[in-house]
């Protein structure tokens, strides 16, 4: 996913272009430094890629050298996490933290930003055990044919999401004669195809009392020939709130909304701390 600080800016600009209303945005000098959190924990997986960054005033040039906060104090249920320079994020270096199903976890972050010491915490409860996809390898699929995966839901979890990632995306593998926006080769370069590489599928309010749920990966999620990795998530309430509101910050009438982040307690942090069960599906699309 894009980092959260970028997401806020993209969401704001996108809303201004596509709204029906004509809102007035007033930006004053009351900048408040915030900790920006992008953190998820997964049962039976190591604690890693806990991203801690910061916000910036809108009327100043971004100093990307200070974007990543590498000297924060980050605790998960009281256990310290360490900064990993390779991933520019925090992790459990000892491997002693074991994330379990249907268990509550608390993330605490303390950081000094622009001379202000900030502290916040958030809590998540991992989903109950039970979620899994039926078929991890779906083989080869001809472009345009139906791609449907089936999963067993977790009791009490009615929010599911999937990231559909084209593993070998390039200008050579892009499906130019696609069924939606056919184009000509050479119309964009490697940078221009970035928006098509990762797509997302949301499955809301499913009946988790059913033994099996089926979901289609539609053509608007597959823009390249070649192999795909699809990670399917059974997500907690925090994950649902962030994914459903993080990008959608403007109503049709033009009024702006704030993403739902009430899981942070003090107001010193923005972003998301959530949990999910993850499973993986792979397939290959051919002409």
Q: Which two tokens stand for residue 259?
A: 């993403």
Q: Which among 185, 34, 41, 30 is positioned nearest to 116, based on CA atoms?
A: 34
* pLDDT computed for residue 164 by the predictor: 97
Which of the two residues, 245 and 9, has the higher pLDDT score? 245
* pLDDT computed for residue 10 by the predictor: 34
* pLDDT computed for residue 118 by the predictor: 98
Q: Which two tokens stand for residue 120?
A: 């916040």
* pLDDT computed for residue 72 by the predictor: 98
Which of the two residues, 101 and 17, has the higher pLDDT score? 101
Domain positions in the chain are 35-125, 132-262+276-286
**Percentage above 70 pLDDT, the chain:** 84
**Whether the predicted pLDDT of 13 surpasses 80:** no
Q: List, for residues 240-270, the tens digit of each pLDDT value.
A: 998 887 665 444 444 444 667 789 999 999 9
* pLDDT computed for residue 76 by the predictor: 98
Average pLDDT over the chain, rounded to an integer: 86
Q: List, for residues 53-70, the tens digit of each pLDDT value.
A: 999 888 778 877 889 999
Domain 132-262+276-286 in CATH 2.60.40? The answer is: yes
The whole model's pTM is what? 0.82
First-to-last alpha carbon distance for the chain, in angstroms, is: 28
Q: List, for residues 181-205, the tens digit of each pLDDT value.
A: 888 887 777 777 888 999 998 998 8
Confidence of residue 154 (pLDDT cuts 50, 70, 90): very high
């Amino acid at each position: 996913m894009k980092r959260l600080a970028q997401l806020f800016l993209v969401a704001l600009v996108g809303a201004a272009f596509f709204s029906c209303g004509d809102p007035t945005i007033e930006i004053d000098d009351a900048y408040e430094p915030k900790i920006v959190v992008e953190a998820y924990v997964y049962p039976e997986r190591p604690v890693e890629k806990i991203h801690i960054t910061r916000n910036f005033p809108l009327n100043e040039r971004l100093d990307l050298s200070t974007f990543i906060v590498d000297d924060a104090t980050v605790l998960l249920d009281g256990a310290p996490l360490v900064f990993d320079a390779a991933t520019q994020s925090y992790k459990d270096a000892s491997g002693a933290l074991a994330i379990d199903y249907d268990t509550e976890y608390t993330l605490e972050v303390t950081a000094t930003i622009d001379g202000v010491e900030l502290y916040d915490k958030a809590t998540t409860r991992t989903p109950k055990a039970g979620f899994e996809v039926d078929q991890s390898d779906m083989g080869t699929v001809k472009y345009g044919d139906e791609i449907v995966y089936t999963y067993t839901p977790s009791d009490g979890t009615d929010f599911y999401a999937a990231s559909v990632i084209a593993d070998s995306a390039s200008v050579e593998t892009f499906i130019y004669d696609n069924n939606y926006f056919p184009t000509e080769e050479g119309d964009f370069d490697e940078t221009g195809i970035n928006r098509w590489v990762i797509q997302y599928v949301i499955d809301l309010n499913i009946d988790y009392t059913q033994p099996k749920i089926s979901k289609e990966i539609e053509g608007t999620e597959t823009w390249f020939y070649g192999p795909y990795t699809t990670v399917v998530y059974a997500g907690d309430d925090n994950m649902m709130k962030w994914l459903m509101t993080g990008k959608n910050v403007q109503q049709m009438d033009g009024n702006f909304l704030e993403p739902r982040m009430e899981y942070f307690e003090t107001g010193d942090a923005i972003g998301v701390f959530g949990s999910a069960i993850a499973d993986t599906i792979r397939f290959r699309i051919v002409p």
